[in-house]
Amino acid sequence: MDSDSRRVPSQSCRSVVVIAGGDAFVRPLDRLRRQRITRLFPANVSLHILGYPQERCSLDELTASIRESIRAVPEPAVIAGISFGGLLALRVAEAEPVILISSGPRFSAEGRARIEQQIEALERGDIRAMAKPFITLFRSRLLRMAGTVALAVRRPRINDPAYVAHMLRLALACSDTEAAHASIVIGEHDQFFDIAANAIVIPRETHTLAIENPRAVRDAVSRILEGL
C-alpha cells in the first residue's frame, strides 16, 4: 500500500489516516498531489496518506491492505477518505471516526454514468475521452480553459488503462455503504455523489471542492476534529 506521513510535534492530539481519491490510481500519487491532500487538514495533526497498490486486486484484498496500513499507525486514528477513498473509509472503519471529503455513501445517477463512460473510453483506448469529463468538473472557468488547452496539446499521462478501468469498477462496487456514523464535507453541486443528510455542504462548489476551495474543506475538517 502506497503511503506517506507528515509528522507533527508530540503534543498533537490527533492522528489522521487519509485514503486518497481515484486520482491516485489514475496517475501516480506524486508530491504535488500529496501537498494538495495535506492542505485539507489542520497543521496540528499527524497525517498518514495512503495511495493504492499498483497492481490489480480484489475489493476484499484492497480493504484488507488498507486495514493493515491503519493498524500500523501507532496512535488512535481518525480515518478520512477523499472521493472513492471515502467509500473505502466506510468499509474499513471499525471503531474509528470517519470523515468523507467530496464523497458520500453512494454515487449519484450522474456519477455512476460518468464512471461507466470513463471505463468504456479506457476499454477502447481513448484516453482523451476518459480525461475530458474531469475538466468539466471545475467550477472555475479559468481551470476549465487550462484543462481544455492541456488536453488538446498533449496526451494525458495515466497508469495502465486496464488497471485504471479495474479500479473504477471497484469504485462502483463500493457504492451504497452505510454512512450514518461519518462526517461528510461535500460541494453543493458534486457531480459524483448523492449528498447525505448529515453532510456539511459547501455552497456553489463541485466535486473539485478540495482543489478549488481547500480552505473551506480545512475549516470544516477542523471543526469536525474539534468535536470528536
Element (H, E) at 75: none
Pairing state between β 77-82 and 182-187: unpaired
**3-class SS of residue 202:** strand
Q: pLDDT tens digit string along 81-92?
A: 999 999 999 999
Cβ(48)–Cβ(19) below 8 Å: no
Residue 177: all three cell numbers together:
455503504
Q: pLDDT tens digit string along 13-65?
A: 589 999 999 999 998 888 988 999 999 999 999 999 999 988 899 999 999 99
Instruction: Quote the pTM value.
Output: 0.91
- Per the document, the length of the chain is 228
Element (H, E) at 213: none
Residue 193: all three cell numbers together:
455523489
Buried b (16+ CB within 10 A) or exposed e, 128-145: eebbbebbebbbeeeeee
The residues pairing with 19 across neighbouring beta strands, listed in sequence order, are 50, 81
d(CA 146, CA 112): 26
Q: Which of 176, 188, 173 is nearest to 106 (CA)?
A: 176
Cβ(23)–Cβ(86) below 8 Å: no
Could you read off the pLDDT tens digit of each residue along the chain, which spans 228 residues?
666 665 444 444 589 999 999 999 998 888 988 999 999 999 999 999 999 988 899 999 999 999 999 988 877 689 999 999 999 999 998 888 999 999 999 999 999 999 999 999 999 999 999 998 889 999 999 999 998 888 888 888 889 999 999 999 999 999 887 777 899 999 999 999 999 888 999 999 999 999 999 999 999 999 999 998
Residue with cell 468538473: 137
* DSSP state for residue 63 in the 8-state scheme: H
